[in-house]
Every structure is written in C-alpha cells, then in structure tokens.
Structure 1
Amino acid sequence: MTRRFTLDFLKTETASGLALGLAALAALVCANAPWSADYFAWLKGVHALEIGPLRLELTVSEWIKDGLMAVFFLVVGLEIKYEILRGELRDPRRLATPILAALGGMVGPALVYLALSGLIGAPHAGWPIPLATDIAFALAIFALVGRGLPPSLRVFLLTLAIVDDLGAIVLIALLFSQGVAWPPLVAAGALMAVIAVVGRRVPLTAPIWSLGFAAVWWLTIQAGLSTSLTAVAFAGIVPVEPRRGTLQSPLRDAMHDLHPYNAFLVLPLFAFAKAGVSFAGLSPGQMLSPLVVAIALGLFVGKQAGVLGAAWLASALRIGARPTGATWLQLYGVAILCGVGFTMSLFIGALAFPGAADSPEQVAVKLGVIGGSILSSLVSAIVLAVAARARRRTAPQPEPALPPS
C-alpha cells in the first residue's frame, strides 16, 4: 500500500493527455469544416432518459457536461479526500497554500479585467469570465510537460483547480442563478447523509455506491444546480478505510475502476463537445476587440500573478508552505498553467453575455478564452520544461558501482 496510491491511478498520463488534445483539435476541425452544421446539430440534439415514471431530457452537450463530467469531479473529489487524510495535504500548512492560491487566482484576473475595462472599454459584465481554471486541460498539459517534477505539484494544481472551480460555481449561483428548487436539493443532501452513516457501519458494495451517486446526480439536475458540486460532495462520504474484514478500501476501488474511463472516455468526449469554435467570417477588429484582450490578459497575466502572489504570501506569513520538494520556478510554471480557463470560462461567458452562439459578444468571449488559454499553455510548458531540466541537473547522481575484487 503506497502513500502515493491515488496519484498512480488519477494522473492523466501522457497518452490520455494526447487523447484530450486530439479531441479538442478534432472539435476545431469539425466546427470549421463543410460539415460544421452537422457537428453543431449533433451537440444540440435532445435525448431523453426514462426510468419508470422518471424522465430527463438533455441535449448531447448537456449530457456530456452535466452527466459524464460528474464522474470526473467525483474522481477529483476522491483524490482530494485521500490527499487530505493520507497524503500531501495532511499538513494544514500545505493545504492552506493551494486554497489561498486559488483565491488569489480569482482576485488577480478580476482586477486585471476591471483595470482593462476602464482603460480600453471592455464590457464591465465580463469580469467573472477569466476567474476559472479548467481542471481537465490543466492536468492534461501538466502530464505532457511535467515529467520529472515533484508529484506534490500535481496535488497542488489539482487542489487549487477544484477550489477555483467551486468558487466559480458559487459565483455563478450568486450572479446568474434564477432560483434553486429546494425540495430535490434537500433530498440529495439527506440521501448523502444516509449513505454516509450506513457506509460507516455496513460494507456497501460498488453497485450500491453507484446507485447512490446516480440518485444524488438526478436530484441535483432536478434542483437546477451544477452536478460538479454534488459530485465532489459525494466523494467526501466514500470511506477511505478498508472494509471490515478485508484490505479493500471503497475509495481505492473507485479510483482504480473509474480511472481508465475518466482519462480515455470522459475527458476526450468533453473536449470534443466544448472545443468546437467556428472562426468563419472573423475580422481583425473582432479578434482584438477590448473584450477579447481583457479576457485573454485576465487569464494569462491575472491568473499567474494572483496564484503566485498568494502562494508566496502564504509562505512568507508562515500560514502555508510550498509543495514538498518544489522550487519557486516550478510553482511559477504551475501558476501560469492556471490561466487555462477553457471550460468554465466559456460557460460563464455564455451567462454573462446571453445570446446566440454567433453574436459579437459570444465570438469575442470564445476568442479571449481560447487565446488566453493557449498563451498560458505554451508559456507554462516552457517554464516547466526549464524547471524540470534544472531539477535533473541538480539531482544527486548515483555512485558508480565498484569493480568486483
């Protein structure tokens, strides 16, 4: 039983990171190809799920975003729980650092956007757009460029990104919510409480956990909330301790079973559904409009400044600590990587500027998010590659074996 168990199973390896990148590229090709109408029609197609008297109708895009991605957030929640109880984040000072960095990573982009709003006239309503970090893409990029770096950096990035996304979800609820259906939300909370109590007393099998998660997911949809929040909450009730009389941990089993589906099915499908942006008919003025520039610089400049500044402040005030074995250069590379705000940023942009997908505001939002995310990806890859090379140079070399006497 290794201390780094969940990192071995959760890490988005180079192969799955490549699959994610290829899926995003395929989406861009489809969105700008002669068959683009078929691609967008497929995403808008409505499909129903019926179980007895229960019926739920969602588009393909919504099934992927609210259905499949709930599995991703469940796995992320399991990772965070394990690290808090058994791994890197058992030290409160090391848990404090990514949480504070996530908060800084939300304040920084907002300040940059609002400053540019006053200077170049970007619409004030767009300030929440660059606040979020895309967990899926950030982890995939880190997997591709983070070889040789301390595993603690992955935990730092994962914790920061999930806190960041939870903050974005709260922000959406405060700024854009049109009301929550309380009865199903209360029912979801009560069901999780019952499962948590029973799960501590009785060894529940995998099908029971799966049915419980499906029921909580259904109630969350009925409540009108994001399934990502309750998926993380559900992970919190999965026991990390082995089942009575066995060496099997429900959390470990879930990690083992869900990892391949998460890495090679859920994330690539999500990228294929969300990365399709049409660039047809764009003028140079549209590509560098105030809204595009403010969003892109909010992600690229605001994110890295906020994350690194908060992490440094936490360390300087001794209320936090750097990830184990990590240097400030490595942490800076991760801070830049947090500027990949693809998914949640696009979602918030659709709420901040409601309208048709080809409206000027929506086109500008997509250009700004994609531009800031690509710039953050490229620069972070360079910084992390330099940091990894420096780490290899300074690592102690093994002593040569003595010749046999």
Structure 2
Amino acid sequence: MAENRLPIRSVFAPVRALFVSDASAGVLLILVAAAAMLAANSPLASEYHALFYDKFSWYPHAKLSNFHYLINDGLMAIFFFVVGLEVKREVICGQLATPAQRRLPILAAVAGMLVPAAVYMLVIGGDPALTRGWAIPAATDIAFAMGVLGLLGSRVPASLRLFLLTVAIVDDIGAVMVIAIFYSEIGPQEMQWLIASIVVVGIMMAMNRLHVSRILPYILVAIVLWYCVLNSGVHATIAGVVAALTIPMHRKDGNSLLEKIEHSLAPWSAYAIVPIFGFANAGVNLSGIGMSKMIDPLPLAVAAGLVIGKQVGIFTCIVAAAKTGFAKPPKGASWAEIWGISVLCGIGFTMSLFIGELAFQGPGATATLLRDEAKIGILAGSIISAVLGYIVLRLTTEHPDDRSAEPDPA
C-alpha cells in the first residue's frame, strides 16, 4: 500500500494545487487570458470589441467614456491601492522592514528592470516608434508567478517563495514610479489638477497624523484624490498607490486600519479586478496579424526582455551580490533553484499589459497594431517564462514526501 501511495499522490498533486491559495489566482489569470484570446478570435470578436470600446451613451468624463477606460483608469486604481497597502506594510513591519532584508530584493528588482529594458532596446534597434515600450518587459506579475509556485506544492524552499514575493513587490514600486514619471503628460491646465491632488494628499496625511481610525473618511477623500489625478495628466491609478501610503499603520485592538482594508480588498483585487482587467486587455485579434507580424521587432523585443532579460538580470545580480558579500542568497536554496525563480520573474502579465496600453495610446490603426503586438510579446514571454521556470524548479527541487519515501542509504 505504501508503495502505491506515492505515484497516486504524484498524479493528483497538480490537480490539488489548482485549488490552493498560492495557485488559484495565477491559474485564474491563465484561464482569463485564454478566454480573452478565444473571444477575440471567434465569431463573437465584434461583440468582444464592442463591449469594451463602444462609447457609453452618457459618461461623466472623456477618460471614462467606455468600459475599457473605466477598467484601466477606475477599477485598476483599486488594484494599485492594494499594491500600495502591501508595500507600506512590508516596509514598516514585513519582509522589507530592515536594510538587510531590503538589500537583495531591491538590487535584484532593479537589475530585473534595467536588463529587460536594455534587451528590449537592443532588439528594436533604436526604432523611435517603439522606444516608448521599453518598460513593458520590466514588470513581474505576482499572482501569475506565485500561481506557478503553487503548482509545485512544497517542493520549493520557503526562502525562495519569500524572495520571489519581495522582488515582485519592489518591482511593483519601480513600475509605479515608471508610470508616474515616463507615462504622464502634464500641461498648464493639468498642473492645476496636480496641485489640487497634492493638497488632497496633504489632507489624507493630516487625517493619519490625527489618528482618524474610521475607513469611510479615507475612502471619500481617496475618491476625490482619484478624480484630481485623473485630470492631472498623471495616470489615475497612481492615486491608488499614493492614497494607500496615507492609511494609518498604527495598531488598535491588535490590527491596524491598513491591515483590515488590505485583508478586505485583496481577494476582490486578485479574483475580480485583475481577471476583469486581463479579459479586457489580453484579447488580440490575430486575423490581421500574419506570421511576419508575429516576429516583428516589438513582440520579439518584449518576449526577449521577459524571457532573457529578467533571468539574466536577476540571477547575475544574486551571484554578484553573493560573491562580493554584499548580500546573502536565499537560505537553503541551490543555484539551480535560484535560477528557476529568476526565470519565473519573467512572467509579466498584468503590469506589462497595463504599461503596454500606456506606451502606445491612440485611436489610430498603427497604435492599435502596436498594442496588439505588445500583447503578443507579453503573452508569449510570460508563457515561456512560466513553463521554463516550472520545468527548472520541477527538475531541481525535491518534494519532502519524496525524500521521506527514499530508502535509508545505510
């Protein structure tokens, strides 16, 4: 009986893994991306496009004129709000709370953004029409990557899971800064709204200092902040991050207001907002895109940045930090396992799609083609990174039950 239990467990382990928390959000994203591609290339393609891009009969703002805008500028602000809450908690009392804890994740995340950007620029060959997409392969999708780890069960050392999570969090901070700095358009009129946004942020900071502990005042002022940022030329989602940083972390009755809000919103973000965003943005109609377009510089550059740039940048950074004594590698992990985690960091689904939409904005056919090509590169690069990372970790890690089932060498 003991001999038969191991292969049965091996057969059903991947199925069980689909339903654990680490994997479910990532698997949901995979299914959503597949559904979007099917919808965009089916007889329902026109309905799929109309659902997200047809203008409302009435809308309060030009940037909220259809479901696509509403999702990317509205719902995603809540996603970025959750990201901001998570970042603040980790920096204050989590895995980024001390300089020693921050050292390697920050270094790895920076290298994991710069090298993919360099690979992207190298592949496009300096084409000025494509340079705005340099940041597309610089982001790592936390849910997708952690989902792949979830499929591996307890094979992967806890230190590597923690390392991937902290790198992805720092990566998110970098992506937010990139969006705010490089994908914002601020003119004289927008400057007035930006000043109003700063005033609103000051009000939220004062609420924190005065120990306002009820959630409703923060929500109301955060909505005002979002509307000001929406008109400021800075992307509206940045309001979510900034608002999150003003939520108080001081504890009352065991839990802080920040932690209560995060625990309430995190499931909605992971299982509703991000999948809706994925379904609205991952669909690419391939009917007008032949094989020649599939290997154009843009999709190749994005895919190469994710698959090659991410793993080279992060793995080389960890090796260099270990050799120089600047930072220690994740405890209890082999170099092959660290390489596997570096490969998984090339999964850039959510944030990469978001940056791709910002990089090639516009209603024209050229802008639409560029966005579609970027999506092809993102999907291809993310899938290759997920599969390759899974294979490397599957072959180089060992399940605890497998080890216990081995005969005693004595």
- Fold match by TM threshold 0.5: yes
Partner of 2:204: 195
1 CA distance for matches of 2:197 and 2:329? 37
Deviations 1:230-279 (A, max 9, x none): 32232222222222xx3332122112211221222112111111111112
C-alpha contact (below 8 Å) 1:137/1:340 kept by paired residues = yes
Q: Is 1:287 matched up with 2:294?
A: yes
C-alpha contact (below 8 Å) 1:80/1:159 kept by paired residues = no
Q: Is 1:309 matched up with 2:316?
A: yes
2 CA distance for matches of 1:227 and 1:266? 16
Deviations 1:89-126 (A, max 9, x none): 2231221212111211122123323443459x997625
Instruction: Give the letter aligned to residue 390 of structure 2.
Output: A
Instruction: Give the letter aligned to residue 37 of structure 2.
Output: L
C-alpha contact (below 8 Å) 2:196/2:228 kept by paired residues = yes
Q: Are residues 219 and 385 of structure 1, via their aligned partners in 2, closer, same or farther at CA, if it must alter by over 3 Å?
A: farther
Instruction: Give the letter aligned to residue 352 of structure 2.
Output: S
Partner of 2:387: 378
C-alpha contact (below 8 Å) 2:344/2:385 kept by paired residues = yes
Q: Are residues 146 and 233 of structure 1, via their aligned partners in 2, closer, same or farther at CA, if it must alter by over 3 Å?
A: farther
- Matched position secondary structure for 1:46: coil
Aligned residue pairs, count: 381
Partner of 1:37: 46
Residue 187 of structure 1: how far off its partner (Å)? 2.6
**C-alpha root-mean-square deviation of aligned residues, in Å?**
3.3
Q: Is 1:186 matched up with 2:195?
A: yes
What does 1:210-359 align with in structure 2 at a 5 Å threshold?
Answer: 210-243=219-252, 246-323=253-330, 325-350=332-357, 352=359, 355-356=364-365
Identity of aligned residues (%): 36
C-alpha contact (below 8 Å) 1:195/1:212 kept by paired residues = yes
Q: Is 1:365 matched up with 2:354?
A: no
1 CA distance for matches of 2:96 and 2:278? 29
Partner of 2:32: 23
1 CA distance for matches of 2:404 and 2:268? 36
Residue 146 of structure 1: how far off its partner (Å)? 5.7
Partner of 2:218: 209
1 CA distance for matches of 2:89 and 2:181? 30
C-alpha contact (below 8 Å) 1:340/1:377 kept by paired residues = yes
1 CA distance for matches of 2:212 and 2:359? 46
Residue 360 of structure 1: how far off its partner (Å)? 5.2
What stretches of structure 2 of length at least 5 have no aligned partner? 1-19
Residue 19 of structure 1: how far off its partner (Å)? 2.5
- Matched position secondary structure for 1:389: coil
Residue 334 of structure 1: how far off its partner (Å)? 2.4
Residue 162 of structure 1: how far off its partner (Å)? 4.1
C-alpha contact (below 8 Å) 1:333/1:383 kept by paired residues = yes
Partner of 1:4: none
1 CA distance for matches of 2:197 and 2:128? 40
Q: Are residues 109 and 123 of structure 1, via their aligned partners in 2, closer, same or farther at CA, if it must alter by over 3 Å?
A: farther
Deviations 1:133-163 (A, max 9, x none): 3344334434444645345544433443344
C-alpha contact (below 8 Å) 2:63/2:73 kept by paired residues = no
Q: Is 1:164 matched up with 2:171?
A: yes
- Matched position secondary structure for 2:250: coil
TM-score by length of 1: 0.81
Deviations 1:148-185 (A, max 9, x none): 53455444334433443443454455555432522322
Q: Select between 347-356 and 69-78 the one with higher mean Cα deviation.
A: 347-356
Partner of 2:69: 62
TM-score by length of 2: 0.80
C-alpha contact (below 8 Å) 1:110/1:130 kept by paired residues = yes
Q: Are residues 78 and 344 of structure 1, via their aligned partners in 2, closer, same or farther at CA, if it must alter by over 3 Å?
A: closer
2 CA distance for matches of 1:310 and 1:31? 39
2 CA distance for matches of 1:173 and 1:200? 26
Q: Are residues 170 and 372 of structure 1, via their aligned partners in 2, closer, same or farther at CA, if it must alter by over 3 Å?
A: same
2 CA distance for matches of 1:30 and 1:307? 35
What stretches of structure 1 of length at least 5 have no aligned partner? 1-10, 398-405
